[in-house]
Amino acid sequence: MIDDLDPRILDLALAVALGFLVGLERERAPDKLIGLRSFALIGAFGGLAGLLAADWGGWVAGVGLAALTAMILAHRLRLPAREPDREFGTTTMVAAAIVFLLGAACVAGYRVHAVVLGGLTIILLHWKQPLHGLAARLGNEEFNAIARFVLITLVVLPVLPNASYGPYAVFNPFHTWLLVVLIVALNLVGYVALRLLGSRRGAILGGVLGGMVSSTATTVSFAGLARDDRAAAPGAALIILIASTVVYARIGIELAVVAPGLLAAAAGPLLAFTVLMLAASAAVYPRVSRQSVTLPAQSNPARLQVALTFGVLYVVILFTLAAARDWIGDHALYAVAFVSGLTDVDAMTLSVGRLYAQGDLAADVAWRAVFLASLANLLFKVGAGCVIGGPALRRFLLPAGAATLAGGLAVLLFWP
């Protein structure tokens, strides 16, 4: 029966429904300017304006929006000029204009867009207090990091040429900087979370945050702490292991962006090794007290120098992989993966992912190269932790690190 209905009737019903949902959220707010029924009618108003605009021209929707704005302003001016009303009224007036346009979009054929934007509008209206609290907690350092991320994303990225240059055509400025943006974004999430949550955290959350920002820096910092305070060695080992486990979540995200097909092939071994890393962390956990730990201070990950360094490293590794494969063969990739993985897994992961996406690498060779790079990085961190941390840290980190590395080697060699 529903198939016999005019599709425009369903579009109008959707417009009213979106207005109803936004109005439901506004109805619950104190000192509301307009409420549930008004928003539902505004959705219907927008739908009708869009319907008529299809035959009479877009000016109908423009006149309708202007009339709506005039009516709401007139209503607002009749209210007492109290500051809470003024602030709330501005938000509600903007929401009303959005609902009108969402109604028009529904009948213009943009149903999915209207539903998505309507949902986001409800979330933004409902999360008033959390969002205001977040803005209040952002200090100069956090905002500076976000501003620099905006610089490298919205200012630098659009002006770069999207073309390949140099030997093996591996240097594409736009593509390279796009991956720089991805890595900086991952680091920035951890950095801002660390700044907002505070540096004193439990060992588990401390390891997660440390791994999100830099697992290598976290390893070196907590190894030094264990050297100076033997009682802190179990907690330091746990944090290092958890931070190293987070690396595999980063690898999964990076592959999902640059080579989704490769992620499907790598998901099994990566997940298996992640479980092994979690088991090693769980073995150390009973020796850790419930006292909080102080995470090391982290530098701004959105600095231009950091972005440029990663970009250069990515291009160098990508060129080295292409040259080694051309001169020696696929097996040379493993040597490059091991050496480069000692210092940076991200650049190696993205380089291999790009070669796979271009059809230059088989999935089996590609995921093993990425996994080998991650094992080399883990070997470096375990070795650095044992050397810097001394006997106290070595007692906990060496057995766990050796067991996980042995398990990782087995996965690398015998995974089908």
Read off the pLDDT band of 87 (50, 70, 90). Answer: very low
Q: What angle do CA 317, 318, 320 make, to 5 degrees?
A: 60
pLDDT tens per residue across span 351-384: 999 999 988 889 999 999 999 999 999 999 999 9
Write down how long the chain is.
416
Query: Is 80 exceeded by the pLDDT of residue 63?
Result: yes
Distances (CA, A) of 223 to 42, 246, 293: 62, 18, 13
How far, in Å, CA of 67 to CA of 304, rounded? 48
330 backbone dihedrals φ, ψ, rounded to 5°? -60, -30
**Among 149-158, 236-245, 261-270, which is the least confidently predicted range?**
149-158
Q: What is the three-class DSSP state of 351?
A: helix
**Per-residue pLDDT, 101:** 92
